[in-house]
């Protein structure tokens, strides 16, 4: 599969975490890294070109920092003008049908801050609900987010681990090593039926959190081996 990363960070040069995460990402075969702020510093987004990029790829990723519980401004502008009625959704709007979608996010606060009992009173999935619903409206298949927590105080070793797992995820998607249909069959969250579940992509054995019921899912090439409740 081919991947389009829509990267949005208005102060990329100041972001230690994101500079590490995306270094050498363009070298991954099958990945197109598209920096929206670099490409459109005046927000003059080329709608035709953006549609062409979307059409040419199978996986769409919004890679961005968590800004006021949402995306940076240019990514919202991008959604408003690129995802047109009759093209992305609505009558005859099936240009994105069947494409995979997820957010790759850096969050300054620690994991425990994004919890019902934490500082923000909600988890990451709650804040991403409008974006997930946008993907569903556009007939895409939303996957759980890839989240790097605690970037304000993260040590380099942990950041390198996040990067390695992000690259592993990208490579697995490019090589079609994740059985999405099986995941849809076994785990209803893929289509938004269980939006509270979050995959922890940091581990080889992926951890799912569904309320207070932890589950584990082992993903290997082309199939899911086991789900343990």
- Tell me if 227 is assigned to some domain: no
Tell me, what's the pLDDT at 5? 98
What is the pLDDT at residue 197?
Answer: 43
Please check whether residue 81 lies inside any domain of the structure.
Answer: yes
pLDDT in tens, the chain (229 residues): 999 999 999 988 888 888 999 999 999 999 999 999 999 999 999 999 999 999 999 999 999 998 888 899 999 999 999 999 999 999 899 999 999 999 999 988 877 787 777 787 677 888 898 999 999 999 999 988 888 988 888 889 888 988 998 998 999 899 888 777 766 665 554 444 444 444 444 433 344 444 444 444 444 333 333 333 2
Alpha helices by DSSP H, listed for the chain, are 16-22, 36-39, 47-56, 73-82, 124-127, 129-137, 156-174, 180-186
Does 205 map to a domain? Answer: no
Asked whether residue 219 is assigned to any structural domain, the reply reads no
Largest CA distance in the chain: 50
Query: CA 193, 207, 180, 56 torsion: positive or negative?
Result: positive
Among residues 20, 33, 66, the alpha carbon closest in space to that of 170 is found at 33
Does 43 fall in a domain?
Answer: yes
DSSP string, 64-87: EE-BTTB--HHHHHHHHHHS-BTT
Please report the pLDDT score of residue 221 as a whole number. Answer: 35
Assess if residue 80 is contained within a domain.
Answer: yes
Stated pTM of the model: 0.80
Token pair for residue 34?
């598209």
Q: Is residue 181 exposed (0-12), middle (13-18) or buried (19+ Cβ within 10 Å)?
A: exposed
pLDDT of residue 229: 28
**Domain residue limits at 76:** 3-176
- What CATH number is given to the structural domain containing 90? 3.40.50.360
Sign of CA dihedral 109, 110, 116, 118: negative
| Residue 195 belongs to some domain of the structure | no
For helices 47-56 and 73-82, give the axis angle rounded to 10 degrees.
90
Residue 215 belongs to a domain? no
pLDDT value, residue 12? 85
How high is the pLDDT of residue 95? 97
How many domains does the chain contain in total? Answer: 1
């Amino acid at each position: 599969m081919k991947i389009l990363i829509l990267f949005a960070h208005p102060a990329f040069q100041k972001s230690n975490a994101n500079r590490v995460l995306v270094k050498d990402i363009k070298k991954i075969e099958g990945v197109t890294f598209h920096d929206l702020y670099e490409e459109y510093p005046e927000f003059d987004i080329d709608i035709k070109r953006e549609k062409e990029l979307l059409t040419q790829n199978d996986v769409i990723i919004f890679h961005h920092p968590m800004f006021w519980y949402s995306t940076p401004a240019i990514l919202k502008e991008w959604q408003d003008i690129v995802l047109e009625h009759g093209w992305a959704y609505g009558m005859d709007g099936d240009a994105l049908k069947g494409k995979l979608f997820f957010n790759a996010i850096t969050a300054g606060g620690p994991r425990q801050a994004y919890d019902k009992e934490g500082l923000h009173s909600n988890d990451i999935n709650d804040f991403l609900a409008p974006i997930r619903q946008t993907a569903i409206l556009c007939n895409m298949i939303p996957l759980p987010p890839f989240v790097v927590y605690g970037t304000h105080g993260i040590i380099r070793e942990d950041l390198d681990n996040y990067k390695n797992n992000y690259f592993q995820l990208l490579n697995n998607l490019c090589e079609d090593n994740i059985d999405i249909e099986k995941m849809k069959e076994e785990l209803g969250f893929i289509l938004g039926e269980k939006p509270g579940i979050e995959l922890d992509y940091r581990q080889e054995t992926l951890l799912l959190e569904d309320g207070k019921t932890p589950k584990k899912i082992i993903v290997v090439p082309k199939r899911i081996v086991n789900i343990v409740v």
